[in-house]
Amino acid sequence: MGLKAYTGEGWLLTKMEELINWGRKRSPWPLPYGTACCGIEMMCALAASYDMARFGAERPSFSPRQADVLIEAGTISKKMAPILRRIYDQMAEPKWVIAMGACACTGGVFRTYSTLQGINRVIPVDVYVPGCPPRPESLLYALMKVMEKIEKDHPLRALFDREIGQVDLRSCP
Amino acid sequence: MSLKDQVQSCLGPLVVAVSECQGDLSVEVSRENIKAALSKLKEDPGLSFDFLSDLFGVDNSELYKKTAAKPAKKAEAETAPEEPPKPQEFPPRFEVIYLLLSLKTNKRLQVKVRVPEENPVVDSVVSLFKAATWPEREAYDMYGIRFNGHPDLRRLLMWEGFPAYPLRKDYPLEGRGEERHLIYD
Ligand code: SF4
């Protein structure tokens, strides 16, 4: 039974995973990390006219501990890079990252000694949003993409990997 | 009395050169005298340059290279070079420029010192103008010009331990691959 659940065939557990994913998908609380002009566009997406809360991004969480989606909007200088990494490390699992704007994706126009050439050099990124700056619609679209990604996730499988993967199953009765 | 005469009579022998460009007066003083000159300009009742609006470094090395290359080309085009061009004498590589404003008379003045590459040290003017603290740190960060007597001469924009002075003209724009690393303490 346990093995079957582990390989993803157990009906109960796959349904359970769907339930969890459904719950997670509907409340991706963002951590706004606006460091430059893209941050203004992100604020616009969060504010009344575009209202990102419609998609469950209800409360911009300014503490990394209570956030699910890190929206990195803007230029990251090399001096800032370790701080970004630390913020990412402080976020509790599960967590996703949106790199918003050309600067966050690749360094953009700032091909200089002081700018980090893409935040994927320090943290893993789930969705890239091109544009300088991207329109708020693009950010909403990126959030939808994150939701799609959450939908395909296997949270219990990861749990089994962590908890039961250590146990030698042959020794179980 | 024009501003130029006023400044000249105030500074007296401290002045090395004076120039005027589009109504902006610029005074060069020698490196040793910068503190004395600025305090004179500040204290002078007629001038009272009591506000330091900015302070920054300049790297002239590329400019000197260009001016060195120009006359050689000209000589080639006109006549065959008769004698090898002798090495030109250039002023020191760096400059530190102080932009002063008088809140009393609303006049502006630019004070300049030249700083050699081998020993890039200037006296700090923080004791005269508190506003000089961060600009001096910036000039130190970007050009490696050190300010004697600065209370807290650390890098301002780049991180501690950055191995170069990025606004020097021989530093590549894209850097030399320096990265700052995450250290958990
Ligand atoms: S991508 Fe453009 S708008 Fe966004 S932070 Fe960079 S420069 Fe600013």
What pLDDT was estimated at residue B176?
A: 86
Tens digit of each residue's pLDDT (9 = 90 or more) over A101-130? 999 999 889 999 999 999 999 999 999 999
Residues in chain B: 185
Does A10 score more than 70 pLDDT?
A: no
What pLDDT was estimated at residue B1?
A: 77
**Phi (first) and psi of residue B9, to 5 degrees:** -70, -30
**Most A-contacting residue of B155, B168, B179, B183 (CB-CB within 10 A), to test interface:** B179
Residue range B15-38: mean pLDDT, rounded: 90
Chain A residue with minimum CA distance to B177? A113
Residue range B20-25: mean pLDDT, rounded: 88
Encode burial over A138-157: b for 16+ CB neighbours within 10 A, e otherwise: bbbebbebbbeebeebebbb
Interface pTM, i.e. ipTM: 0.75
| Best CA proximity match to A120, nearest among A107, A109, A132, A131 | A107
How large is the greatest C-alpha to C-alpha distance in chain A, in angstroms? 62
List the residue whose alpha carbon is closest to atom 8 of ligand 1: A37
Q: Which of A82, A112, A114 sits opposite B182 (nearest CB)?
A: A82
Q: Between B56 and B182, whose confidence is greater?
A: B56
Q: Which of A79, A85, A111 sits opposite B159 (nearest CB)?
A: A79
Residue A8's Cβ-side half-sphere holds a number of Cα atoms within 13 Å equal to 8
Cβ neighbours of residue A125 closer than 8 Å, sequence gap 6 or more:
A72, A97, A98, A99, A105, A119
What pLDDT was estimated at residue B181?
A: 76
What pLDDT was estimated at residue A6?
A: 53
Encode burial over B31-61: b for 16+ CB neighbours within 10 A, e otherwise: bebbbebbebbbebeebbbeebeebbbbbbe
What pLDDT was estimated at residue B161?
A: 85
Residue range B50-60: mean pLDDT, rounded: 92
What percentage of chain B reaches a pLDDT higher than 70? Answer: 88
Residue range B71-77: mean pLDDT, rounded: 57
Q: Which of B171, B174, B180 sits opposite A79 (nearest CB)?
A: B180
pLDDT band at B98 (very low <50, low <70, confident <90, very high): very high
Does A142 score more than 70 pLDDT?
A: yes
- Test A113 with B166 for CB contact under 8 angstroms: yes
Q: Count of CB atoms within 10 A of residue A48's CB?
A: 7
Integer CA distances (angstroms), B165 to A84, A116, A124, B122, in order: 25, 18, 31, 17
Tens digit of each residue's pLDDT (9 = 90 or more) over A62-105? 899 989 999 999 999 999 999 999 999 999 888 999 999 999 99
Q: Is A170 an interface residue toward B (CB < 8 Å)?
A: no
List the residue whose alpha carbon is closest to atom 6 of ligand 1: A103
* The two three-digit tokens of residue A167, written as one number: 């146990």
What pLDDT was estimated at residue A173?
A: 47
What pLDDT was estimated at residue A1?
A: 46
- Test B159 with A78 for CB contact under 8 angstroms: yes
- Bridge pairing between strands B108-115 and B24-29: parallel
What is chain B's mean pLDDT, rounded?
86
Kindly tell me the sign of the dihedral angle through the C-alpha atoms of B173, B177, B178, B181. Answer: positive
How large is the greatest C-alpha to C-alpha distance in chain B, in angstroms? 68
Does B33 score more than 80 pLDDT?
A: yes
Residue range B14-35: mean pLDDT, rounded: 90
Domains (range + CATH), chain A: 28-151 (3.40.50.12280)
pLDDT band at A4 (very low <50, low <70, confident <90, very high): low
Tens digit of each residue's pLDDT (9 = 90 or more) over A149-158? 998 888 777 6
Cβ neighbours of residue A167 closer than 8 Å, sequence gap 6 or more:
none
Contact yes or no for B123/B98 (Cβ under 8 A): no
- Test B180 with A112 for CB contact under 8 angstroms: no
pLDDT band at B103 (very low <50, low <70, confident <90, very high): very high
Domains (range + CATH), chain B: 3-148 (3.30.460.80)
